[in-house]
């Protein structure tokens, strides 16, 4: 029903983005590029500016300076629903689901893709009913993809914590995004749930061909999934590269462990 994922996603480019809140600089000339079809992790200590960066990418926060581009399309300053319509979907740190079944929640994600119109839907016209069936079938496919097929008609309130987090992931996928922003997707999960979610993220990237931007404190998951990593500290980018390059970077060691560059200077 939507050919957005039939072609490779465009690159997501963040260029010299600066965000200030009441004189406090939350992001300081941050730049990075998410290569098409890659997993790009954004990491850093608490307060580093990761969530602020996600809010800029999804339109919840307007930067004081800098630009965000999806291919040649300017995202900077657009409202969240316009950015979502252009193919950028996100999840949140805290679970955000509605009452009802898994199917009900996933169909909310399909709403933005509806073409039947309010009148046709309200009157139950044949084209509206046909579109509704097609959307429901696609939502079921996505539920199967993330491991929720058996729970499709179950109330979300009865699901485990890990399954409810995957409902939010599936709802974002129902927008047929080209870029998926995952904000701490395994936060609060046990080991088994973390492993399952990591597997799902890898499967989603491979089968849907989308790009993923990942904010996560689980460094094991980041090192396993990410193609590239950007590290923020106090709103500034301090390192960028492959997971192996980043975890050996002296500035990263200092930011996370208080070791690295200081010892080298002392030597």
pLDDT at 142 > cutoff 60: yes
Average pLDDT over residues 131-157: 94
- Residues 87-104 pLDDT 10s: 999 998 877 777 899 999
Average pLDDT over residues 108-132: 66
pLDDT at 237 > cutoff 90: yes
pTM over 0.75: yes
pLDDT at res. 54: 95
pLDDT at 127 > cutoff 90: no
Average pLDDT over residues 163-170: 93
Higher pLDDT, 70 or 97: 70
Q: Please choose, from the candidates 243, 262, 235, 241, the residue with its C-alpha nearest in 3D space to the C-alpha of residue 251.
A: 262
Lowest mean pLDDT among 52-61, 102-111, 137-146, 247-256: 247-256
Please spell the DSSP secondary structure of the chain, one letter per residue: ---GGGSPPPPEEEEEEEEEETTEEEEEEEEEEE-TT-EEEEE-STTSSHHHHHHHHTTSS--SEEEEEETTEE-TT--HHHHHHTTEEE--SS----SSBHHHHHHHHHGGG--S-HHHHHHT-HHHHHHHHHHHHHHHHHHHHTT-GGGTTSBGGGS-HHHHHHHHHHHHHTT--SEEEEESTTTT--HHHHHHHHHHHHHHHHHH--EEEEE-S-HHHHHHH-SEEEEEETTEEEEEE-HHHHHT-HHHHHHHHS-SHHHHHH-
- Residues 180-191 pLDDT 10s: 999 999 988 999
Higher pLDDT, 231 or 113: 231
Architecture (CATH level 2) of domain 11-87+177-266: 3-Layer(aba) Sandwich (3.40)
Higher pLDDT, 128 or 89: 89
C-alpha angle 36-77-6 in degrees, rounded to nearest 5: 30
pLDDT at 132 > cutoff 90: no
pLDDT at res. 120: 52
Contact 204, 36 (CB under 8 A): no
pLDDT at res. 32: 97
Average pLDDT over residues 106-126: 66
pLDDT at 263 > cutoff 80: no
Average pLDDT over residues 16-32: 95
- Residues 26-53 pLDDT 10s: 999 999 999 999 999 999 988 899 999 9
pLDDT at 256 > cutoff 80: no
Could you tell me what percent of the chain has a pLDDT over 90? 70
Which residues, at least 6 apart from 151, have a Cβ–Cβ distance to it below 8 Å? 102, 143, 159, 163
Contact 221, 198 (CB under 8 A): yes
What strands lie across the sheet with 88-90, from one edge to the other? 88-90, 179-183, 211-215, 39-43, 228-233, 236-241
Band of pLDDT at residue 82, cut at 50, 70 and 90: very high
pLDDT at res. 147: 94
* Domain spans, the chain: 11-87+177-266, 100-170
């Amino acid at each position: 029903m939507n050919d957005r994922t039939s072609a490779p996603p465009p690159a997501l480019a963040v260029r010299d983005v600066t965000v200030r809140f009441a004189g406090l600089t939350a992001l300081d000339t941050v730049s990075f590029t998410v290569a098409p079809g890659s997993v790009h992790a954004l990491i850093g200590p608490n307060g580093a500016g990761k969530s602020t960066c996600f809010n800029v990418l999804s339109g919840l926060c307007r930067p004081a300076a800098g630009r965000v581009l999806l291919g040649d399309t300017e995202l900077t300053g657009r409202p969240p629903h316009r950015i979502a319509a252009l193919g950028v979907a996100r999840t949140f740190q805290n679970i955000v689901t509605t009452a009802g079944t898994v199917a009900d929640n996933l169909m909310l994600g399909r709403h933005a893709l509806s073409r039947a119109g309010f009148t046709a839907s309200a009157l139950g016209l044949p084209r509206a009913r046909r579109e509704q069936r097609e959307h429901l079938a696609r939502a079921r496919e996505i539920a199967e993809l993330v491991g929720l097929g058996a729970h499709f008609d179950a109330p979300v309130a009865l699901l485990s914590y890990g399954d409810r987090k995957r409902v939010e992931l599936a709802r974002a996928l129902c927008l047929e995004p080209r870029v998926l922003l995952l904000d701490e997707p395994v936060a609060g999960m046990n080991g088994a749930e973390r492993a399952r979610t990591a597997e799902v993220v890898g499967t989603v990237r491979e089968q849907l061909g989308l790009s993923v931007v990942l904010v996560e404190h689980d460094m094991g998951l980041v090192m396993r999934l990410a193609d590239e990593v950007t590290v923020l500290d106090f709103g500034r980018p301090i390192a960028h590269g492959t997971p192996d390059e980043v975890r050996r970077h002296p500035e990263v060691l200092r930011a996370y462990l208080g070791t690295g560059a200081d010892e080298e200077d002392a030597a």
